[in-house]
């Protein structure tokens, strides 16, 4: 009995070690295969983009919704903005594009208000890049109500009109909606782009596959992934619209005596 116990124990241990080693090798090979197959032109879920477990409702109708989560003070958002704007222009009517300013802390809220006030006044396209430039090139601090109002006035906007919108119930409602979206998409960094209420990508996500690359390379690769995801979503929308409707259920009439 003793001999049997002594011999069997190492054998069992060796078997477990071999099994764990095999599993580890399989996982490593699987990850390596995913990395080898993944590329910005043919992205793979879990590599160049992530997918929400449950898709969120979008507000874009038949168009593919594209949402950028950003923060004015973020240097990576500043670097990404020109390429993103150009990409949006090229997409034309293929997409419905919107931005959502994030608030990881309460101190972010003045800049959220700035964005939504300008959006309500129809001034975002005119001032978006100017705000980034003021913060990142001119080193201006636009993170208080007063500093923001002074900057907006310097751009030719009436102070009272701006502050009325900035402090309005409508803008406050947008702030609450922004927080809901931020939580629903599990935004943990910016810039982050959500597509069709379910796919998410960003230069940092793409960078986990491409490795250490210049920021411009990560940005262009992200735009490639976005092209692919928009195309995928558009095809699925088209297929859904062309799918035959379910045949109506006919119930045989029963003759009454």
pLDDT one-digit tens code per residue, 206-218:
999 888 899 999 9
Lay out the sheet containing 199-201: strands in order across.
50-51, 199-201, 192-195, 64-70, 95-101
Q: How many domains are there within the chain? A: 1
* Residue appearing with tokens 């949402």: 67
Alpha carbons 200 and 150: distance in angstroms, whole number = 36
**Domain annotation covers residue 62:** yes
**Domain annotation covers residue 146:** yes
Q: What is the mean pLDDT of the chain?
A: 85
- Percent of the chain predicted with pLDDT > 90: 71
Average pLDDT for 69-91: 97
**Domain annotation covers residue 213:** yes
The two tokens of residue 57 are 């409702």
CATH number at residue 116: 3.40.30.10
Residue 166 has pLDDT above 90, yes or no: yes
- Percent of the chain predicted with pLDDT > 70: 79
Average pLDDT for 35-59: 86
**Domain annotation covers residue 16:** no
Alpha carbons 201 and 45: distance in angstroms, whole number = 10
Full domain range(s) for residue 153: 50-236
The two tokens of residue 117 are 């006030």
Spatial CB neighbours of 144, under 8 Å, sequence gap ≥ 6 = 110
Output the pTM of the full model: 0.80
233 burial (CB, 10 Å; 0-12 / 13-18 / 19+) is buried
**Domain annotation covers residue 23:** no
**Domain annotation covers residue 177:** yes
**Domain annotation covers residue 22:** no
């Amino acid at each position: 009995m003793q001999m049997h116990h002594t011999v069997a124990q190492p054998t069992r241990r060796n078997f477990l070690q071999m099994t764990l080693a095999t599993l580890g090798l399989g996982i490593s090979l699987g990850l390596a295969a995913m990395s080898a197959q993944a590329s910005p032109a043919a992205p793979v879920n879990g590599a160049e983009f992530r997918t929400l477990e449950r898709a969120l409702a979008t507000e874009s109708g038949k168009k593919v919704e594209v949402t950028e989560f950003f923060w004015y003070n973020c240097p990576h958002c500043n670097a990404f903005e020109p390429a993103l704007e150009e990409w949006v222009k090229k997409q034309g009517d293929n997409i419905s594009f919107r931005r959502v300013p994030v608030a990881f802390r309460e101190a972010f809220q003045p800049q959220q208000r700035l964005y939504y006030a300008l959006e309500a006044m129809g001034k975002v396209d005119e001032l978006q890049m100017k705000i980034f430039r003021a913060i990142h090139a001119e080193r201006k601090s636009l993170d208080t109500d007063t500093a923001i109002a002074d900057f907006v006035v310097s751009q030719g906007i009436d102070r009272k009109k701006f502050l009325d919108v900035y402090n309005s119930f409508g803008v406050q409602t947008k702030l609450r909606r922004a927080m809901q979206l931020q939580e629903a998409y599990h935004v943990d960094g910016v810039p982050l782009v959500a597509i069709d209420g379910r796919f998410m990508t960003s230069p940092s996500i793409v960078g986990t596959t491409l490795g250490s690359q210049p920021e411009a390379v990560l940005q262009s690769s992200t735009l490639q992934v976005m092209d692919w995801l928009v195309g995928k979503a558009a095809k699925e929308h088209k297929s859904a619209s062309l799918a035959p409707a379910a045949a109506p259920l006919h119930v045989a009439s029963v003759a009454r005596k």
